[in-house]
Structure 1
């Protein structure tokens, strides 16, 4: 007689193999789930504590009535400091496009300057060669 043999339908599992393969993995899943749940709990409860409440200010004593004065026209309030400009995505994209265009213009100007300098050097070299040729011809005539 075989001990530890469990028959499920037509399939037989040895009890030790079944516990090692299935329940061992199931146990690991439970441990991992508990660890993940604890991380969520730590995240929820690890917030900064609330600031203590400010003590109530004592009520102001009643002021004696003053004679009525004519109303002054309302003036708009001016802020002490202008609000900081908030850059939007469109502003950043426009600035990046402008910087790219400026960089391309600078590269184009540098290329033109280089070409002009090369052309001037070539013309100078040709003038020097022409003068040398004329000097050689003049020396041959003498």
Structure 2
């Protein structure tokens, strides 16, 4: 009877030990699973952060590009305005030069006329 009890006890102990071992193995598996899940979540979070950073960089790049384009357009407009002003000035200068030339021609004409009239008077007087 004692032997039987002992055997039963031993069997029970062995069974409990197996249960404990099984439970420990399950705990380890669960821990590993949690660890893997945590790592996966961290990776996903990092990926999301990276994506957000990339999007922000892209937006910044786009904004910079737009600003550069606007600056270029403004510069072009300023250059055009300057060119137009230069053209106007040149035209005005040309007009002034033409007027001066005409005035000079007129003066020359008058001088010639005067000379001619003097000459004609002289010729008349001589005759």
TM over 0.5: no
Return the structure number with greater strand share. Answer: 1
Larger Rg over CA atoms: 2
Structure number having the greater helix percentage: 2
Q: Which has the higher contact order (CA 8 A, sep 6+)?
A: 1
